[in-house]
């Protein structure tokens, strides 16, 4: 079950967001025919996107995350809503890289260790809030730790992971974000820093236990933790034939006529869910009539 569990330590000195996005990551891998390295990159980014969307307050709020590094992946784009829906795409899903010397997937090499992240928060206002942050490793978790510290002035721990079984299938995917409160006592902060310094990877903690409470006990052994609530996370692409028709109408009469001259039909493709929409000659003629009123 894809979900995000939200809570705080017993003293309310820091909050945490624990995401299990295993099934979502499996779905993304199948939709986009992702290589393992691409799956790890998109899976990590999906987990943090879902967590950041869960921080938003209103039902119609959305967050769009674009990661553009200098690696072969090209651009990663994820859109997540505050209700748990998420869609994602990457320019080059098929590319696989050799493992790093430590035997781990080279996500940083795939994404690129130089580049930029753009975080767009849409609160339904006239203009969305746009934040930018440089990539520092391309490994995603470190990049978002840096983003929270520099762009939001919010000290955060970001621990993300995707683990595959021996058959190359996604076994575990998700992550945890921990954020301190402004008035956290020094003693608590020191202990939290000790836990973080010895914290295992998210996937290792997940392997030890499927139960969220036990998983948190592995990640943060020194603290009593209270769950506040949870929210679902699920794949959701909002494309439709009607939306594609509106996109064609926006081209205007001359562009539609050019499409007809070049071919008797046209295809519109959704890069998020890989769905194709076919528009015949009759469809295009009808759209031209609609443009003319």
Work out the average pLDDT over 226-236: 94
Place 127 in a pLDDT band, splitting at 50, 70 and 90. Answer: confident
Cross-strand bridge partners of residue 172: 163
**How do the domains of the chain map onto residue ranges?**
3-235, 241-291
C-alpha–C-alpha distance, residues 132 and 260, integer Å: 41
Work out the average pLDDT over 124-137: 90
Dihedrals phi, psi of 139, to nearest 5 degrees: -85, 0
Place 261 in a pLDDT band, splitting at 50, 70 and 90. Answer: confident
Q: Buried b vs exposed e over 7-38: b needs ≥16 C-beta within 10 Å?
A: bbbeeebbbbbbbbbbbbbbbbbebbebbbbb
Dihedrals phi, psi of 236, to nearest 5 degrees: -150, 110
Q: What is the mean pLDDT of the chain?
A: 94
Rounded to 5°, the CA angle 197-202-206 comes to: 130
C-alpha–C-alpha distance, residues 171 and 166, integer Å: 10
C-alpha–C-alpha distance, residues 120 and 117, integer Å: 10
pTM for this model (two decimals): 0.92
Q: What percent of the chain has pLDDT over 90?
A: 85
What is the CATH superfamily name and number for domain 3-235?
Hsp33 domain (3.55.30.10)
CA proximity to 255, closest of 288, 292, 289 = 288
pLDDT at 94 > cutoff 80: yes
pLDDT at 149 > cutoff 70: yes
Q: For residue 54, what are the CA distances in angstroms to 40, 61, 155?
A: 21, 10, 18
38 within 8 A of 30, measured Cβ to Cβ: no
> Which stretches does DSSP call E strand in 29-164?
62-69, 75-81, 85-90, 115-122, 129-134, 156-164
Q: What percent of the chain has pLDDT over 70?
A: 100
Tell me the per-residue pLDDT of 201-221, one tens digit each, with 9 for 90 and over: 999 999 988 888 889 999 999
> Which pLDDT does position 23 carry in this prediction?
96
> Which pLDDT does position 3 carry in this prediction?
94
pLDDT at 68 > cutoff 70: yes
> Which pLDDT does position 210 carry in this prediction?
82
pLDDT at 6 > cutoff 70: yes
Domain 241-291 has CATH 3.90.1280.10: yes
Cross-strand bridge partners of residue 164: 170
Work out the average pLDDT over 224-236: 94
Tell me the per-residue pLDDT of 154-189, one tens digit each, with 9 for 90 and over: 999 999 999 999 999 999 999 999 999 999 999 999
pLDDT top residue among 193 and 125: 193
pLDDT at 259 > cutoff 90: no
Work out the average pLDDT over 89-106: 96
Q: From the centroid of its chain, how far is CA 242?
A: 26
> Which pLDDT does position 63 carry in this prediction?
97
> Which pLDDT does position 293 carry in this prediction?
67
């Amino acid at each position: 079950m894809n979900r995000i569990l939200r809570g705080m330590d017993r003293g309310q000195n820091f909050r945490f967001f624990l995401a299990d996005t295993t099934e979502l990551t499996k779905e993304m891998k199948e939709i986009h025919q992702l290589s393992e390295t691409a799956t790890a990159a998109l899976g990590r980014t999906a987990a943090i996107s879902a967590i950041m969307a869960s921080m938003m307050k209103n039902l119609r709020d959305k967050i769009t995350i674009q990661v553009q590094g200098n690696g072969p992946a090209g651009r990663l784009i994820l859109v997540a809503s505050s209700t748990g829906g998420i869609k994602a795409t990457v320019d080059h899903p098929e590319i696989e890289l050799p493992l790093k010397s430590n035997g781990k997937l080279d996500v940083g090499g795939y994404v690129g260790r130089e580049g930029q992240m753009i975080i767009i928060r849409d609160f339904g206002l006239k203009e969305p809030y746009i934040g930018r942050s440089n990539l520092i490793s391309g490994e995603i978790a470190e990049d978002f730790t840096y983003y929270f510290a520099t762009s939001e002035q919010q000290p955060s721990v970001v621990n993300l992971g995707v683990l595959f079984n021996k058959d190359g299938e996604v076994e575990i995917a998700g992550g945890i974000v921990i954020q301190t409160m402004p008035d956290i006592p020094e003693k608590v902060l020191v202990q939290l820093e000790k836990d973080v310094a010895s914290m295992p990877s998210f996937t290792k903690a997940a392997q030890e236990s499927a139960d969220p409470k036990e998983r948190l006990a592995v990640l943060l052994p020194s603290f009593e933790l209270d769950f506040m609530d949870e929210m679902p996370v699920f794949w959701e692409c909002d494309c439709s034939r009607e939306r594609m028709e509106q996109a064609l109408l926006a081209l205007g009469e001359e562009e539609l006529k050019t499409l007809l001259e070049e071919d008797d039909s046209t295809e519109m493709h959704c890069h998020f869910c890989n769905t194709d929409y076919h528009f015949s000659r009759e469809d295009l003629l009808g759209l031209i009539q609609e443009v003319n009123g």
